[in-house]
């Protein structure tokens, strides 16, 4: 799982650095968090709305804590210098075609994760 995090993070980092942004490490981390939050939040919502019946306010608090914990875990795994340098060295040796595939996969996940979030939530609303 860490290899997937590093792979996506490095390709998102390289994509954001091509745009000339000032803080590309943080931007890539935020994009990675958005991807995983959009994909994991519906699972958490199904778990807590179907399996465990929570009041709405408690559900919102648990969802907020879940998002913050996911952010902190991603930051802990990837954002430190040692892990960043290791991942950068690991994926700098890619061929041009591997880099193109990595960029395509990263962009596809970045674009499709909010769309999947909306579709999953729409499906959940239709089920109730």
128: pLDDT strictly greater than 70: no
Which one has a higher pLDDT value, 62 or 126?
A: 62
In angstroms, the Cα distances linking 24 to 13, 37, 48, 54, 91 are: 6, 20, 35, 38, 17
Per-residue pLDDT reduced to its tens digit, 10-54: 888 888 887 766 788 888 888 888 998 888 888 877 777 777 777
Per-residue pLDDT reduced to its tens digit, 63-110: 889 889 988 888 887 777 787 888 888 888 888 998 899 889 999 999
CB 91 within 8 A of CB 11: yes
In angstroms, the Cα distances linking 119 to 42, 49, 102, 107 are: 10, 17, 25, 19
Six-digit token pair at 123? 């499906």
């Amino acid at each position: 799982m860490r290899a997937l995090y590093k792979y996506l993070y490095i390709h998102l980092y390289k994509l954001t650095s091509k745009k000339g942004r000032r803080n590309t490490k943080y931007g890539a981390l935020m994009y990675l968090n958005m991807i995983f939050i959009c994909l994991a939040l519906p699972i958490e919502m199904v778990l807590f709305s179907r399996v465990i019946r929570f009041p709405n306010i408690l559900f919102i608090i648990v969802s907020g804590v879940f998002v913050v914990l996911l952010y902190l875990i991603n930051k802990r795994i990837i954002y430190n210098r040692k892990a960043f340098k290791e991942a950068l060295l690991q994926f700098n040796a890619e061929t041009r075609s591997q880099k193109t595939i990595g960029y395509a996969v990263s962009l596809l996940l970045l674009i499709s994760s909010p769309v999947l979030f909306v579709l999953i939530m729409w499906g959940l609303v239709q089920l109730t």
